Amino acid sequence: MKTAICYYSRHHGNTLKVLQAMAQDSQVDLIDVTRRQAVRLEDYDCTGFASGIYYGTFQESVLQFARQHLPEGKAVFFVFTYGVLRPSYTKVIGQIARERGCPVLDEFGCKGYDTFGPFKLVGGIAKGHPDGQDLDNARRFYQNLKETYNRGAYR
Ligand SMILES: Cc1cc2nc3c(=O)[nH]c(=O)nc-3n(C[C@H](O)[C@H](O)[C@H](O)COP(=O)(O)O)c2cc1C
């Protein structure tokens, strides 16, 4: 499965750590949406969108990148890190995928060290995350995703 993951990771590089764990031993291109302007997601079997959560959703440049580059019907998945878990973080990116008729294979989220705003005063929350367990879970998530894809239900 040839995979691209289009990501934004700026606050503490938390999301990138998770993606690097997923990409270990697999054919995954990590695409920083703030650097790469031209990309052909048509050339990949599957596309991930990944972000730290900023004000309750994926960072705007990832949403914009998806609106601009996501081909119709492409299998997608989502990866995110957050300070505090809420159920709605993939709502907007999920909506973009649905509008393109893209099947959503799965999503992975875990805590990421957060020193935004008042949290800085207390030394931050979700300290130490993503930790070793989070990264193991991320690796397992991507292995399972490949198996799901290879079973062929989404082609
Ligand atoms: C400006 C800003 C806004 C944030 N908003 C949220 C939020 O709404 N919900 C949440 O759980 N975490 C929020 N966070 C924490 C980040 O989602 C978390 O630290 C994440 O792991 C950052 O990922 P990154 O290091 O890959 O950029 C925010 C952080 C920043 C800097």
**Per-residue model confidence as pLDDT tens digits over 29-48:** 999 999 977 899 999 999 99
Domain CATH code at residue 76:
3.40.50.360
Pocket test for ligand 1, best of 116, 122, 129 (most atoms within 8 A of CB): 116
Q: Which of 53, 59, 111 for a ligand 1 pocket mutation test, highest count of atoms within 8 Å of Cβ?
A: 53
Q: What is the pLDDT of residue 25?
A: 85
Residue 7 inside a domain? The answer is yes
In the reported structure, the alpha carbon of residue 106 is separated from the centroid of ligand 1 by a whole-number distance in angstroms of: 21
Q: Is the CB of 82 under 6 A from ligand 1?
A: yes
pLDDT of residue 37: 72
Residue 154 has what pLDDT? 67
Does 155 map to a domain? Answer: no
For residue 24, what pLDDT is reported?
93
Ligand 1: does its nearest atom lie under 6 Å from the Cβ of 109? no
What is the distance between the alpha carbons of residues 70 and 37, in angstroms, rounded to a whole number?
13
Between 122 and 91, residue with greater pLDDT: 91
pLDDT at 36: 77
Cβ of residue 12 lying under 6 Å from some atom of ligand 1? yes
Which residue is it, tokens 């900023």? 54
Mean pLDDT of the chain: 95
Query: What is the whole-number distance in angstroms between the Cα of residue 153 and the centre of ligand 1?
Result: 34
Is the per-residue pLDDT at 153 higher than 70?
no
Q: Give yes or no for a contact between 126 and 111, defined as CB atoms under 8 angstroms apart.
A: yes
Atom from ligand 1 closest to the CA of residue 53: 17
* Cα 151 to ligand 1 centre (Å): 34
Domain that holds residue 56: 3-150
In a domain, 60, yes or no: yes
Within-domain flag for 61: yes
Q: Which atom of ligand 1 is nearest to the CA of 16?
A: 26
- H-type helices in the chain, by residue range? 14-23, 60-69, 91-99, 132-150
H or E element at residue 79: strand 75-82
Buried b (16+ CB within 10 A) or exposed e, 60-73: ebbbebbeebbeee
Does the pLDDT of residue 100 top 80, yes or no? yes
Q: How far is the C-alpha of 49 from the C-alpha of 81, rounded, in Å?
A: 12
Mean pLDDT across 56-80? 97
Looking at the 3D structure of the chain, how many domains does it have?
1
- Per-residue pLDDT, averaged over 67-93, amounts to 97
Minimal CA–CA distance to 155: which of 106, 98, 102?
102
Whether residue 150 has pLDDT greater than 90: no
Q: What is the pLDDT of residue 38?
A: 81
